Amino acid sequence: MAYCTQQDLIDRYGEAELIQLTDRAGADAIDTTALARAIADVDALVDGYLDARYSVPLSPVPGLIVRLACMLTRAELYRDQVLEDSHPVVRDKAEATRVLMALSRGDVSLGLPEGGTPEPDSAGPSVSTNTPDRVFDSTSLDGF
């Protein structure tokens, strides 16, 4: 499951921008293969950051992660272009990376259980053992 979809990117940045960034064949359409590759690269990056604290891939995907994935996918599509540090894409990529680092360190939470493990019961786990009877005890060794 991808952290963002083509429709998420269209909703945030517009179809025209995605066509401009992906259409190398001049078809005046979004190159879905190029876009899928960028999305997959960003998914792997996000998982790399989140794996330190959460079970990945996340499902369902929190809204914050969708937003960060969109920002990073857009930056991935711009990667062959020279952009000034003040360009919104460069600033968005830096912000998304900072948030992912904060999530990885635990400074920011997604509100999900960490590690993907269920919360323990309040009573604690029960332990049972099955051992054989003693062969020797303090009374059976009196003659030695």
Q: Is the peptide bond before 62 cis (omega within 30 degrees of 0)?
A: no
Does the pLDDT at position 124 exceed 50?
Answer: no
Phi-psi region of 72 (alpha: psi -120 to 50; beta: other; left: phi over 0): alpha
Does the pLDDT at position 129 exceed 80?
Answer: no
Q: Is the peptide bond before 88 cis (omega within 30 degrees of 0)?
A: no
Residues 89-105 have a mean pLDDT of: 96
3 state DSSP class of 74: helix
Distances (CA, A) of 30 to 20, 97, 136: 8, 26, 80
What is residue 113's predicted lDDT score, i.e. its pLDDT? 79
Domain ranges of the chain: 6-108
φ, ψ of residue 48 to 5 degrees: the values are -60, -40
What is residue 61's predicted lDDT score, i.e. its pLDDT? 95
Residue 123: pLDDT band (50, 70, 90) is very low
By C-alpha distance, which of 68, 62, 55 is closest to 114? 55
Percent of the chain with pLDDT over 70: 80
What is residue 81's predicted lDDT score, i.e. its pLDDT? 87
Average pLDDT, the chain: 86
Higher pLDDT, 117 or 109: 109
By C-alpha distance, which of 102, 1, 4 is closest to 53? 102
Residues 54-68 have a mean pLDDT of: 95
Does the pLDDT at position 122 exceed 90?
Answer: no
Per-residue buried b or exposed e for 84-113, using 16+ beta carbons within 10 Å of the residue's own CB: eeeeebeebbeebbebbeebbeeeeebeee
